[in-house]
Structure 1
């Protein structure tokens, strides 16, 4: 998922004009997109260190904005969505972004990799995917024009036909993703033999009573009322809810750990049952064709900027949106119970006090809250609660190969890997892109994009955590873990001789030192997180929040959540203005009438202090 996940870019942190320049190049060209899947991972700044001379410099005279103006602080999915909806309703919108438009969803180029008139090799923070449970983001995508597409960039979505759980030392579990119109994966006799072996091996090693128990727990959650979900299940870790500690290793790896890594990109021992269950429920409905925008697993048919972000920015410019790239938000100022200005550092390091009628904070929470002052927190208690939200590392690395590996035609989850790896070979899903003809030096033919979800456990080569390794050691360790999972049953999928090069997300810095940093951490969902997520509208009359940490119906840090929160922020702004403009539609999670009836029955039991009727403990 997007890990799914991360979503909006940030503008806090030290100025980085070189990165801003690279971002401008990326917006002109294209680069990498990726994806996770029903069984994949969601994909997922430098700490602000102002130069002393700039830190002490007084703010320049205020630059007033004319008319019904809105300053959108952050140019990721949340910020671009807010700008899109506001511009369509006639507002004067300026987006301030420090690094690159698109945020964690963007693609980027590998420096120095372009030769012979080709584009640089495509890279990314982590692979993307846009499952059928999303509705708000696809609606936005349909409204972004793309040449030759009747439904805009939405028509650039393609659906992998399968996914796989890769196990070390045992045959992998390869599973089709059923959906009408899916092109089936190409399998030979050996593929079929291995697929059957993996499924039967799992069936015989996973006791029937454990399968029955897991199904029961799923039904308990499915029929639990919202009150029980928001209280009891929000306080209960998924690991405890499914009684994983008492179950077999296969149960733990596949049903407890595998599910949480795939769906919510967080640790089963800590993740809220409400979060895991809500998304698991949505994916089941999606597989059954209930309320789905499309197949459970969809990715873009080209690098993200080429297929989505660049066309979006072009469209927003046509609507009158002004972009300030390389501008860093430093602080918000208050006067009379309102936001009076935002202090923003331009690419030259000069601070300006920018004024607007309204301010939409669309930065990730770990960067946004650095701009909130004590008066803002006193005016809006939600900001104090948001200080308790937690983030963690989930970062991508790409391996460029000189041959196409014969692996699953979709996402793979390496469930036994020490660093909790998930990945996808992308070039085969870009049918209109002749990879070696378009990118790099003409030798690399494939981009294997891998997400590292666990940065604090020892690896298999060096006995060190990912944070303790150098960048080179991280690459070697991940490659070794990939081979251990994919080359372990007599079939060589990855060859050392085919490894052309690699690229690790530049947002990670200081690896191998006592103080490594990550500019793009991912919001995680330990128990209690729900009650610390703020709403899009605040008690500060001209201040709004948009981002994957804001409370919306999809209880997860996703691009869908970022998009939905931006829509909610725009609606709150329209209400404050008393605007007659149409409100933005915000679609919630799909509900099935029969299940809602059972949930109403459970609400009665909850009010009486009784357990769910199916809860056998």
Structure 2
């Protein structure tokens, strides 16, 4: 972590930075240290704060674009600064495969990882509806396409498990602990082949969590690893692989042995109610009907430009500069590599946490202790690779979870969803018919071809290894689902570098959630009056690094900014996850039990 920023971590150091001195700084200069120890004031209300209108949004990912959208609709002058020349959209963007276009076609579409926009999301879909798209009554939201099933691909000749979402059937109109547990056991029996008593125990653990009060979730389950909560050590291989490890590595991108129960179980809770059709925006599994930039990011940027938003791409933020109790400016490097100081009335920092915290010097950190706690937040690698095939290969109409793969792979065949595109006619050299997009969630376990981790492999070896691991699950029963002869080419996220060397790097990592992570996640409002945080690491309702979390954090940041500015504009809607009314009395009783030091009423231990 870069702690070499200016200032001493004191209130005097924070207040002492002079604007005139900052204007003369180069990109690498520093403010002189101070002494003493006191916190900066939380608010500075007054005429200047109420009338200021200029906002610098630092970061052009989902959080930054959401903040710009909400602010522009409310009349603010917004400039978005994005460090990558083609980085608008952040990890959500699609990107062109270099030198892949022929004969007037578009380049092959690559991406950091496939888009997955489940029905548990509410804030992001609201934004999608407000982005105009030609021919769509509901804007970009109408570009969402529902999948109909999910597959758990097993290796060693074991049967692949297919779970059509239709098997849920008609849920009970009123949930009771008994009816809910029976329903969960039925769902799990249809989805996994673990021993019946283990399935029943897993269902009980979910009931315990679903009926736990907020205080127990936060104070107890946040500190308990998912592996421990499930008693996975005592269970069968299939229980461990499907219900403990598979969920955490493929959905939450962290290890079951360390992942917070609160994080994992909260996501499962949302998906269960989504499957039941309760409080959902749509189907549990949805993707886009075009490459992400075509279906969403490019129309979004065009709409924001029409609202007056300005974009500065290729501008990298180096350091925030304090003066007079506020952020006076940000030192940036422009596309030519020159250092500049940008100024604004308000700053919304919408950068990933691993990049944002490098810009907080000692004086900024001293102004708000929650910024320093962000150093404890952990990130990991979850990165995508795309395989381009010369024949349509719709493995299933949905995602494939390669649960036995050492590198925790998840994949989806994309051409089947892109009905308005013909791959051979529209992309590449005219011979590509499909794109199999794969997420690699585990980079530190040996593979099956070379016996090395993904980080230890070269880029070419990573591609061969991923292909082999997918074939091990899809082709092991005799069917040639994936054919070597159909493989045209592949594209690995360029954010990954140095593979096969002693110093591999990943410029676009993912926040993970070991136990206790929640206590280090900051709020959108900071103690610096004109600095606000937006990103999937901010404390929001969906306790997971997602586009939904980034969108919600941006809404909260904008609302805090409106409060600080004394604005009369309508506040952004912050849409909350669904809560089953039948469980409210059970949670209330659990709150009483928790205060008395008793376990949840359904907790069998």
- TM-score normalized by the length of structure 1: 0.86
2:82 corresponds to: 97
1:167 aligns with 2:154: yes
Q: CA RMSD in A?
A: 1.8
CA distance in 2, matches of 1:441, 1:106: 22
CA distance in 2, matches of 1:202, 1:452: 22
Equivalent residue in structure 2 for 1:148, among 130, 135, 145: 135
Within 5 Å, which residues of 2 pair with 1:334-483? 334-405=322-393, 407-483=395-471
Equivalent residue in structure 1 for 2:71, among 86, 95, 101: 86
**8 A Cα contact 2:189 2:199, kept in partner:** no
**8 A Cα contact 2:248 2:264, kept in partner:** yes
**8 A Cα contact 1:67 1:92, kept in partner:** no
Q: Label 1:406 to 1:88 Cα distance change in 2 as closer, same or farther (>3 A).
A: closer
Deviating 4+ runs (over 3 angstroms): 53-59, 199-203
CA distance in 1, matches of 2:564, 2:167: 44
2:240 corresponds to: 252
Q: Label 1:56 to 1:162 Cα distance change in 2 as closer, same or farther (>3 A).
A: closer
Equivalent residue in structure 2 for 1:569, among 557, 570, 590: 557
2:101 corresponds to: 114
1:535 corresponds to: 523
**8 A Cα contact 2:278 2:578, kept in partner:** yes
CA distance in 1, matches of 2:211, 2:263: 15
Give 1:250 deviation, angstroms.
0.7
**8 A Cα contact 2:250 2:441, kept in partner:** no
Q: How many residues align?
A: 541
Within 5 Å, which residues of 2 pair with 1:542-581? 542-581=530-569
**8 A Cα contact 1:144 1:153, kept in partner:** yes
Q: What SS is found at the alignment partner of 2:166?
A: coil
**8 A Cα contact 1:78 1:565, kept in partner:** yes
CA distance in 2, matches of 1:609, 1:541: 40
CA distance in 2, matches of 1:57, 1:358: 22
2:294 corresponds to: 306
Unaligned runs of 5+ in 1: 1-52, 60-65, 182-198
Give 1:490 deviation, angstroms.
1.3
2:602 corresponds to: 614
**8 A Cα contact 1:54 1:349, kept in partner:** no
**8 A Cα contact 1:544 1:569, kept in partner:** yes
CA distance in 2, matches of 1:458, 1:174: 27
1:286 aligns with 2:274: yes
**8 A Cα contact 2:377 2:520, kept in partner:** yes
**8 A Cα contact 1:343 1:354, kept in partner:** yes
CA distance in 2, matches of 1:472, 1:115: 23
Q: What CA deviation, in whole Å up to 9, does each residue of 1:104-149 have, x standing for no partner?
A: 0000011010001100000000011111010000000000000000
Give 1:56 deviation, angstroms.
5.5
2:125 corresponds to: 138
Q: What SS is found at the alignment partner of 1:234?
A: helix
**8 A Cα contact 1:57 1:351, kept in partner:** no
**8 A Cα contact 1:397 1:450, kept in partner:** yes
Q: Label 1:180 to 1:302 Cα distance change in 2 as closer, same or farther (>3 A).
A: farther
1:322 corresponds to: 310
Q: Label 1:255 to 1:92 Cα distance change in 2 as closer, same or farther (>3 A).
A: same
CA distance in 1, matches of 2:351, 2:585: 39
Q: What CA deviation, in whole Å up to 9, does each residue of 1:4-23 have, x standing for no partner?
A: xxxxxxxxxxxxxxxxxxxx
CA distance in 2, matches of 1:266, 1:612: 26
Q: What CA deviation, in whole Å up to 9, does each residue of 1:201-236 have, x standing for no partner?
A: 987x52221111111101000100010000110000
2:61 corresponds to: 76
1:491 aligns with 2:479: yes
Equivalent residue in structure 2 for 1:523, among 506, 511, 516: 511
Give 1:336 deviation, angstroms.
1.9
The structure whose Rg is larger is 2
Q: Label 1:201 to 1:558 Cα distance change in 2 as closer, same or farther (>3 A).
A: closer
**8 A Cα contact 2:97 2:110, kept in partner:** yes
Give 1:241 deviation, angstroms.
0.3
Q: Label 1:57 to 1:600 Cα distance change in 2 as closer, same or farther (>3 A).
A: closer
CA distance in 1, matches of 2:52, 2:304: 19
Unaligned runs of 5+ in 2: 1-24, 32-50, 170-187
Q: Label 1:55 to 1:567 Cα distance change in 2 as closer, same or farther (>3 A).
A: closer
Give 1:486 deviation, angstroms.
0.5
**8 A Cα contact 1:398 1:504, kept in partner:** yes
